[in-house]
Amino acid sequence: MPSCDVPTMNTEPGQVVLLNGVSSSGKSSIAEALLDVLDRPYFHMAVDTIGAMRSTTRTNELPQEEVTAVLTRTRAGFHRAVAGMAWVGNDIVVDHVLSEPWRLTDCLAVLEGIDVVFVGVMCSPEELDRRERERGDRQIGQAAGQLGAVHAHGRYDLVCDTTSTSPVDTAVQIKEFLDQLVTTRAFDDLRRDRASGA
């Protein structure tokens, strides 16, 4: 089989801006706005996009325990896809919902050695309910019910509240933070906490 010569890439890993928030909090809109305001070309990688690649017909035919396993593999694969893109020098905006503890633990492991800027995307329960009613494809109260689990770890580099702030203004706020010189990141602190048993 003929081989393909891949150019040698002597480059530093790219930066990952990880947006974590509940459904309907505005992560996807912020990510799209970030692509327009950031100085370098970033990729938007969303966990929902990866999930949408999967055959829903075949997945729905499986017993519930197998569906759970498929979803776990999907999210674990997503984390590794983000890491793979970043390791060859690509800058990434990640849109995720860290609603299960293992998801954050896995991200801390597979993204070690990569500059991760951890952004908490907050929104009031009342506004989340309003957005769910407006979208019409979500169970009212589902997003508000996720708030405690999604933000349970309690550490971010930057917290943004989208209750009354537009995606563009939030993207500008994140860009201004990225322009600052920061020596440690929330991911570093979270790894240290876990290593010390805190």
Which residues share a beta bridge with 96? Answer: 20
Q: What is the pLDDT of residue 87?
A: 96
Each residue's pLDDT expressed in tens, for the chain with a length of 198 residues: 455 666 666 679 999 999 999 999 999 999 999 999 999 999 999 988 888 887 777 777 778 888 888 889 999 999 999 999 999 999 999 999 999 999 999 999 999 999 999 999 999 999 999 998 888 766 787 888 899 999 999 999 999 999 999 999 999 999 999 999 888 999 999 999 998 876
CATH code given to domain 15-195: 3.40.50.300
For the chain, the structural domain boundaries read 15-195
Q: What is the pLDDT of residue 189?
A: 95
DSSP letters of the chain?
Answer: ----PPPP------EEEEEE--TTSSHHHHHHHHHHHSSS-EEEEEHHHHHHTS-HHHHHTS-HHHHHHHHHHHHHHHHHHHHHHHHTT-EEEEEE---SHHHHHHHHHHTTTSEEEEEEEE--HHHHHHHHHHHSSS-TTHHHHHHHHHTTT---SEEEE-SSS-HHHHHHHHHHHHTS--S--HHHHHHHHHHTT-
